[in-house]
A and B are shown apart, each in its own frame.
Chain A
Amino acid sequence: MKAESGSSAMFVQCQGCRKTLFATEFLASHKVCGTCGHHHRLTWRERVDATFDADTFCESASTLVSHDPLNFPEYAPKYGQAQAKTGSMDSVTIGTARLEGLPVSVAVSDFHFMGGSMGSVAGEKVTLALEEAANARIPAIVFCASGGARMQEGILSLMQMAKTTAAVERCQEAGVPFIAVFTDPTMAGVLASYASVADVILSEPRALVGFAGQRVAKQAGVHKAPKDFQSAEFAMRSGMIDRIVPRKDLRPTLATLCRTLGGRLLHGAAHG
């Protein structure tokens, strides 16, 4: 969304319907258009503020940075620019927080950092967040927003798919629920790893959700592609998602799941 009148930013334009919106109202609704319902992308900080109890987020592993293992062309400057732009070291932020008072382990991917791509750092952080959930016996909540694996780290990025998926198994073994929230976009290497084996998969409306780039996928079956191909709604219809949840309902929905699926953890041996 871009500011309509220079630096004053009294107004913003909706990226969905192009209507001009009051900035204050827009922010109050966590960047959901009041007219068309378009869910604009959030930064990780906005996501945390929109979802968890105020001032309960406690970040961990915030200083992890990639080593550019392949010395990949133009990666170092791009990485630096993304850090300068977002104030984050990499695409995923993790920590613990409270959700309606319940302790949770959290990972949030931020599309604004190199398209939320998953390299060594993002893979490590998602793994740490899932391991923390398993060790502390608290639910894991992961917000996905990613174009997929980060090609600049080559084969090591691909390996993050296996690493994060293995960490999901730790949660399963520990009996802690893992809830994935698909936001725009949830694609490729992220979708085809930890995200798709969550206990419960929620998605924001109209998020892009798919395995192959749209161009590639449509080439492979263009005549058969429905209009909403690779949308959350298409994935829902295909049985790949549990619920499509508007942003304003995410917090209570997640809390409900933590109390039901994670209920045993809260009440300990009494109900165990």
Chain B
Amino acid sequence: MAKTYKEWMQPLRELEEGIANLESLAAGESGDKAAEIAETIRRFRQRRDNYIETLFSRLGPWERVLLARAEQRPYTLDYVSRIFSEFLELAGDRAAADDHAIVGGPALFQGRPVIALGHQKGRNLTERTDRNYAMAKPEGYRKAIRLFRMAERFRMPVLTFVDTPAADPGVESESRGISEAIASSMLEMVRLTVPVVSVVIGEGGSGGALGIAVANRVLMLEHSIYSVIPPEGCAAILWRAPEKGPQAAAALQLTAQTALELGVVEQVIPEPFGGAHRDYDEAAAGVRDAIALHLSQLDAMSPESLKADRYDKFRRLGSFSHQDLAAVSVTS
């Protein structure tokens, strides 16, 4: 089993490089030679597509973890720029700082005002450091609370994008109340009487993810993950072996499919062939259509029933029964 995304994708990368070489070769040729190269390119592309198809037809939980964390994946702002117009990022928690791990602001979704916000990862070392690897601090959740209140005040639906390994675990976050900030952010979402839709686009990392995902409808991209604990952390606790992440991922079943079966999410959004990173536009179109569908359903609800609907959604979640009664699972 491949340990890293790079290792796992090595054969595919070699195929892609081969195709790219042939394409540059073809550029300088004409006639029969060009036709011959074109034919080779066609066969290489076929082989690449077959390879992707085989690879993606038997994705295990660990491969999903690698995909969900892939640096090439579209991040929140990649979706925001494709799905919304007039997005204007707002900053600061009005108390201490602006946390770059969470971005958000008002925007138009298909012409209608909404609040869009989400965790934001970085693409290079400078960005990743600036965004703290999308591990939000208390200030990030307090900025989210500000935006939730704004949404409530101006009757705007809330759309959140979830993509974080975890909330920031550092000493300073602890002393400024990271736990309280996450809990208060959830509580603020519970109170909302406007539609709320959350989309897990990459990593749904425990409380840090849930802090902005108490929604009427929670959607997951096909290859995203949602987990109570990172698989490496789970392996460290269970088997004192963080390197057994793949086994822990299997045990945790942190895939979109399981989340759907357990009633945690309402829809799994299919990704473009070979994953969201292979076609940002198509991935964003899928997310946009899913949001539009769920918003149109939520629009039929009154403000009070939107709040009640959200309560009921989470109220139902759990798997238990009375031992002295016939075993009846509370979830499906």
Is chain B a partner of chain A in the same complex? yes
Contact A153 B187 (CB under 8 A): no
B268 at the interface (CB under 8 A from A): no
Instruction: Determine the chain B residues whose CB is within 8 A of the CB of A163 once the complex forms.
Output: 314-315, 317-318
Q: Which of A5-13, A29-37, A60-68, A242-250 contacts B (4 or more CB under 8 A)?
A: A60-68
Within the assembled complex, what's the spacing in Å between the Cα atoms of A21 and B207? 41
Q: A63-B324, A192-B178 are in contact. Are A229 and B210 (CB under 8 A)?
A: no
Instruction: Let me know if A191 and B228 touch, CB within 8 A.
Output: no
Mark out the residues of chain A between 139 and 159 whose CB falls within 8 Å of any chain B CB in the assembled complex: 149-151, 153-159
On chain B, the residues within 8 Å of A155 by CB distance are 226-228, 252-254, 258-259, 262, 264
**Nearest Cβ on chain A to B144's Cβ, whole angstroms:** 14
Do A156 and B262 have beta carbons less than 8 Å apart? yes
How far does the Cβ of B99 sit from chain A's closest Cβ, in whole Å?
A: 15
Q: How far is the CA of A236 from the CA of B97 in the complex (A)?
A: 22
A-B contact pairs, 20 of them (CB 8 A): A67-B327, A70-B251, A120-B319, A120-B320, A149-B206, A151-B238, A158-B210, A163-B314, A166-B187, A166-B214, A166-B310, A169-B191, A192-B178, A192-B182, A193-B186, A210-B179, A213-B233, A220-B170, A221-B172, A234-B174
- What count of chain B residues pass the 8 Å CB interface test? 61
Taking CB atoms, residues of chain A closer than 8 Å to B262 are 69, 155-156
Bound together, the chains give a CA A253 to CA B167 distance in angstroms of 34
Name the segment of A44-52, A97-105, A121-129 touching the other chain. A121-129
Q: Is the CB of B314 within 8 A of A189?
A: no
Other A-B pairs, 13, CB within 8 Å; known A63-B324, A63-B325? A149-B228, A151-B229, A154-B254, A156-B317, A160-B318, A161-B186, A162-B186, A163-B317, A189-B207, A192-B178, A196-B179, A211-B179, A217-B169
| Residues in A neighbouring B254, C-beta threshold 8 A | 154-155
In Å, the complex CA distance between A189 and B187 comes to 14
Judge whether B183 is part of the interface by a CB distance below 8 angstroms.
Answer: yes
Whether a CB of chain A sits under 8 angstroms from the CB of B168 is: yes
Query: Is B278 in contact with chain A by the CB < 8 A criterion?
Result: no
Number of chain A interface residues as a range: 35 or more
B85 interfacial by beta-carbon distance below 8 Å: no
Once A65-B323, A166-B315 are accepted as A-B contacts, the answer to whether A158 and B228 lie under 8 Å apart by CB is yes
Q: Is B329's beta carbon under 8 Å from chain A?
A: yes
- Tell whether A207 is near chain B: CB-to-CB under 8 Å: no
**Are A196 and B180 also in contact (CB < 8 A) when A151-B237, A189-B206 are?**
yes
Contact of A159 among B238, B258, B314 (CB under 8 A): B314
Does residue B51 face the partner (Cβ distance < 8 Å to A)? no
Q: In the complex, which residues of chain B have a beta carbon less than 8 angstroms from the beta carbon of A156?
A: 262, 264, 317-319, 331
Distance in Å: Cβ of B254 to nearest Cβ of chain A? 7
Q: CB distance B314 to A166 under 8 Å?
A: yes
Which of A165, A169, A217 has the largest number of chain B CB atoms within 10 A?
A: A165
Q: Which residue on chain A has the smallest CB distance to residue B265? A: A155
**Nearest residue, chain B, Cβ from A160:** B318
CA distance A107 to B168 in the complex (A): 29
Of B172, B186, B262, B329, most buried by chain A (CB within 10 Å of CB) is B186
Q: Are A151 and B171 in contact (CB under 8 A)?
A: no
Whether A194 contacts B190 by the Cβ 8 Å rule is no
The yes or no answer to A197 lying at the interface (CB within 8 A) is yes
With contacts A169-B190, A194-B183, A197-B187 known, is A67 near B210, CB below 8 A? no
How many angstroms from the CA of A211 to the CA of B138 in the assembled complex? 12
Judging by beta carbons under 8 Å apart, are B229 and A149 in contact? yes
Residues of B close to A162: CB separation below 8 A: 186, 190, 210, 213-214, 314, 317
